[in-house]
Amino acid sequence: MAKLLRDALKGALKPEQVRAVETGIDIIGDIAIVKLAEPVKDQGTLVGNAILAGMKNVKAVFDQEGGLEGDFRLRRLRFLVGENRTLTTHRENGLRFMVDVEKCYFSPRLSTERLRIADMVGEGEKVLNMFAGVGPYSITVAKRSNGEVWSCELNETAFNLHVENNRLNKVVSAMHMYNEDARRLPELLETRFDRVLMPHPSQSNRFLPEALELAKPGGWIHYYRHHSGADATEAKAALDDELVQILGESGDYTSRRVREIGPHYVELVADIRVRR
Ligand SMILES: C[S@@+](CC[C@H](N)C(=O)[O-])C[C@H]1O[C@@H](n2cnc3c(N)ncnc32)[C@H](O)[C@@H]1O
């Protein structure tokens, strides 16, 4: 975060309020998204102008009202200052992603996790992403692995931007694109996969049977989930309980914390090896 931004906010806000704005801010391309809580909720213009003054690459500032909503995990945004548009191009790991920050899900906080997954993919692997969004996991995998990627996304706006992003990053020939409900993939696809990605942490549990059907014996499923707990150990225990129920004897796994998403609330991933 630019020092200029902190200095600009310092004049108007209390130190703990400056910290809250700083930690909650997401920069996607040239758009800044803040989450203004009481008592700074009504100071949006002041906060927005400080961000525009402090961060020269930012051209628009929005306030996110509430959490991510619905199956498509969308933000409800209130325009604060700058250019009133929600389409931008985000740069990550040497790649470019067009994102509509209001009509599609995208988080800039997962860039390291995307690299972790891409670096695990072996030469010539067939990879399926059941919940692809605008394509950040799928395109990172295609670019770094030489493998083929099957990418599924139900939100038509996100899907169309994913198609654009394939062109932008020159991975069109490595991609098989499906604007479908992931539930239908076992009936639509004859291919079985070395690796299945499930980056839909609020709902992946509802789709694990389909993922198990789509993965080859001995293949991998990367299963993302949100769980609460006083610490990461407690959250992992909740994930273990869930996987006892829905994975049973079908695979073995190790799990890790991906990131904190709120007080006592974390995103976890289980890397599941499907039993032969
Ligand atoms: C948490 S987002 C992750 C998107 C992307 N992987 C990323 O990291 O930016 C989950 C995605 O799954 C999509 N989705 C939700 N339900 C779906 C379904 N039944 N079939 C396919 N995609 C779905 C949403 O529209 C959203 O783009």
Check pLDDT > 90 for residue 99.
yes
For 18-53, b/e burial (b = at least 16 CB within 10 A) is: bebbeeebbbbbbbbbbbbeeebeebbebbbbbbbe
CA distance 229 to 251: 24
Q: List the alpha helices (DSSP H) in 70-135.
A: 111-120
Task: Note if the pTM is more than 0.85.
Answer: yes
| Dihedral (CA of 167, 98, 179, 198) sign | positive
Q: Compute the Cα dihedral for 7, 9, 10, 12 and give only its sign.
A: positive
CA 268 – CA 255 distance, rounded (Å): 7
Tell me if 151 sits within 8 A of 135, measured CB to CB: yes
Closest CA to 97 of 135, 150, 151, 58: 135
Nearest residue (CA) to ligand 1, atom 9:
106
Element holding 46 (H helix, E strand): helix 44-54
Residue of minimum CA distance from atom 7 in ligand 1 = 133
- Pocket of ligand 1, candidates 72, 98, 131, 150: which has the most ligand atoms within 8 Å of its Cβ, to mutate? 131
Q: What is the DSSP letter of 177?
A: E
Mean pLDDT of 121-134: 96
Residue by residue, DSSP assigns 189-231 as ----EEEEEE--TTTGGGGHHHHHHHEEEEEEEEEEEEEE-SS
207: Cβ below 6 Å to ligand 1? no
Residue 121 neighbours by CB under 8 Å, 6+ apart: 127, 141, 144, 145, 147, 195
Cα separation, 169 vs 117, whole angstroms = 18
Residue-level length of the chain: 276
Is the CB of 137 within 6 Å of ligand 1? yes
Look at residue 258 and tell me whether its pLDDT is greater than 70: yes
Whether residue 2 is predicted with pLDDT greater than 80 in this model: the reply is no
> Which tens digit of pLDDT belongs to each residue from 168-224?
999 999 999 999 999 999 999 999 999 999 999 999 999 999 999 999 999 999 999
Mean pLDDT along residues 240-258: 95
Please provide residue 98's backbone torsions phi and psi, each rounded to the nearest 5 degrees: -80, 130
Q: What average pLDDT does range 78-90 have in this prediction?
A: 98
Chain segment 140-158, per-residue pLDDT in tens:
999 998 889 999 999 999 9
Report d(CA 3, CA 6) in Å as an integer. Answer: 5
pLDDT band at residue 232 under the 50/70/90 scheme: confident
Q: What is the DSSP letter of 42?
A: G
Q: How confident is the model at residue 4 (pLDDT cuts 50, 70, 90)?
A: low
Are 83 and 60 a contacting pair, CB within 8 Å?
A: yes
Q: Which domains does the chain have, with CATH numbers?
A: 3-85 (3.30.300.110), 106-274 (3.40.50.150)
C-alpha closest to that of 255 among 183, 201, 211, 179: 201
The helix (H) or strand (E) run that includes residue 126 is: strand 126-129
3-state secondary structure of 15: helix
Q: Decide whether any atom of ligand 1 lies within 6 Å of the 210 Cβ.
A: no
